[in-house]
């Protein structure tokens, strides 16, 4: 398992280099249609105003920013009002979305927000996403390609102060995004979307059943990408990287968040999820040495997997995501991979998750209240 992990990390380095070459050779395009940016609000996130502000600083022509809210007293509305005062020249609107259409409150809000969008091109992302000034331009130019129905982007985590928060950020930049790049190569393209960016059109959304069809799904981002690919459209991975702010997780909150992600992936991509056993190669190398410390080959296996794990972390975290903290936190890789292995093993013990203080079961991608 350790040696299989070493091979996987080598594949990750190759996939990262392939994506970098694609980023360098991407053809500049003047395609920049008007676009409606949709955001669902639910409480406050770390660095939330910086995230909102970054969307008003886009080097782009015509676009609008729509915030959907189900609670008229949501504290995030104060930040939107502040945004409107700072950027009076931007089209920033708040739309009340009071109806609960399903168990996924975010999608319920987005489904009510969509009819209020003025433009055919739609971009959905999370309320804590911080984007560079060329973000919209890089994302939307992908639609100039043939038969592109959806565009998504990679992202990195801005860690909080706690150790669990730093471990999750390190996992995003060195593990999860690596898996996305490997899947892009192994599957002949991207067949899912990431919540950091879901850019599409109203026409494509209608063809795949609309947002209303996903109001009870946990992984709405994955479903949107998968359904778009199944409808015969291309899902492109743009050469843009955004940032998401992570809270100051306790160990319990970290575990609940990781388990929610793991059991959703297990439910929707079971074969691929079982294959994630090799992504914990460093943990298997450590266990091999602990099991047989007198055998030279266990040390050799650990050395090989450690070298390739570090190489992959640097190639993805620094080379692709330009994450400034990856090198500083490399010493946390063993703890990150041991935690990932523990989550992977525990995820097979059931299908229950915890989300926003409530317990659900995940079955066929859908949420069921416990």
Q: Whose CA is closest to 200, among 18, 19, 33?
A: 33
pLDDT at 260: 94
pLDDT of residue 233: 96
- State the first-to-last Cα distance of the chain, in angstroms, to the nearest integer: 36
For 178, 282, 314, 327, the CA distances from 317, given in Å and listed in that order, are 9, 17, 5, 8
**DSSP conformational letter for 215:** T
Q: Which residues of 204-225 are buried (b: 16+ CB within 10 A; e: fewer)?
A: bbeebeebebbbbbbbbbbbbb
Q: How far apart are CA 152 and CA 192, in angstroms?
A: 9
| Three-state DSSP state, 72 | coil
> d(Cα 35, Cα 63) in Å, to the nearest integer?
5
Tokens matching residue 334: 């063993």
Please classify residue 359 by burial: count the beta carbons closer than 10 Å to its beta carbon, then call 0-12 exposed, 13-18 middle and 19+ buried.
Answer: exposed
Residue 323 in tokens: 């994450």
CA-to-CA separations, 246 to 147, 152, 158, in angstroms, rounded = 35, 20, 6
pLDDT of residue 355: 85
Q: So what's the pLDDT on residue 238?
A: 95
Return per-residue pLDDT of the chain as tens, 370 residues.
Answer: 999 999 999 999 999 999 988 765 555 678 899 999 999 999 998 899 999 999 999 999 999 999 999 999 999 999 999 999 999 999 999 999 999 999 999 999 999 999 999 999 999 999 999 999 999 999 999 999 899 999 999 999 999 999 999 999 999 999 999 999 999 999 989 999 999 999 999 999 999 999 999 999 999 999 999 999 999 999 999 999 999 989 999 999 999 999 999 999 999 888 889 989 999 999 999 999 999 999 999 999 999 999 999 999 999 999 999 999 999 999 999 999 999 999 999 999 999 999 878 899 999 889 999 8
Read off the tokens for 302.
């650990």
Q: In what order do the strands lie in the sheet with 63-69?
A: 91-96, 63-69, 35-41, 121-124, 198-201, 148-158, 234-245, 129-130
**Within 13 Å of residue 23, how many CA atoms lie on the same side as its CB?**
19
pLDDT at 23: 67
Full-model pTM: 0.93
User: What pLDDT score does 271 carry?
Assistant: 85
Cα–Cα distances (Å) from 217 to 21, 103, 260, 316, in that order, read 35, 8, 12, 30
User: Tokens in use for 215?
Assistant: 């109001």
At residue 28, the pLDDT reads 62
What was the pLDDT predicted at 31?
A: 87
60 torsion bin: left (phi>0), alpha (psi -120 to 50), beta (else): beta
- Nearest-5° Cα angle at 51, 45 to 52: 100
Closest among 236, 158, 245 to 197, alpha carbons compared: 236
pLDDT at residue 29, as a whole number: 72
Listed in sequence order, the DSSP H helices in 187-280 are: 202-207, 220-230, 251-268, 270-275
How far, in Å, CA of 116 to CA of 93, rounded?
10
């Amino acid at each position: 398992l350790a040696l299989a992990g070493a091979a996987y990390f080598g594949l990750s380095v190759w996939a990262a280099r392939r994506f970098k070459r694609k980023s360098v050779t991407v053809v500049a395009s003047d395609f920049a249609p008007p676009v409606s940016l949709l955001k669902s609000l639910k409480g406050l996130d770390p660095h939330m105003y910086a995230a909102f502000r970054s969307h008003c600083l886009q080097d782009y022509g015509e676009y609008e920013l729509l915030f959907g809210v189900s609670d008229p007293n949501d504290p995030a509305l104060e930040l939107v009002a502040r945004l409107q005062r700072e950027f009076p020249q931007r089209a920033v609107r708040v739309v009340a979305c009071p109806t609960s259409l399903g168990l996924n409150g975010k999608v319920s809000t987005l489904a009510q927000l969509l009819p209020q969008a003025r433009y055919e091109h739609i971009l959905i992302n999370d309320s804590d996403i911080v984007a560079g000034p060329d973000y919209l331009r890089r994302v939307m130019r992908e639609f100039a390609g043939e038969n592109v129905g959806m565009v998504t982007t990679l992202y990195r985590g801005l860690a909080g102060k706690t150790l669990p928060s730093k471990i999750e950020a390190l996992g995003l930049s060195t593990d999860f995004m690596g898996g996305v790049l490997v899947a892009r190569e192994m599957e002949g393209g991207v067949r899912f979307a990431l919540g950091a960016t879901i850019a599409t059109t109203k026409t494509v959304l209608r063809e795949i059943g609309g947002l209303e069809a996903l109001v009870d799904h946990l992984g709405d981002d994955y479903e949107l990408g998968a359904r778009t690919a199944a409808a015969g459209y291309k899902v492109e991975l743009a050469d843009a990287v955004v940032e998401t702010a992570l809270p100051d997780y306790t160990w319990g909150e970290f575990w609940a968040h990781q388990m929610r992600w793991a059991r959703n992936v297990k439910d929707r991509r079971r074969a691929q999820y079982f294959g994630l056993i090799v992504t914990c190669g460093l943990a298997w190398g450590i266990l091999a040495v602990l099991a047989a410390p007198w055998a030279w080959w266990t040390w050799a296996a650990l050395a090989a997997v450690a070298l390739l794990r570090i190489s992959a972390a640097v190639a993805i975290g620094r080379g692709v995501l330009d994450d400034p903290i990856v090198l500083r936190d490399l010493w946390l890789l063993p703890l990150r991979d041991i935690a990932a292995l523990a989550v992977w093993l525990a995820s097979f013990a059931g299908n229950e998750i915890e989300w926003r203080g409530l317990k659900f079961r995940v079955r066929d991608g859908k949420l069921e209240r416990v």
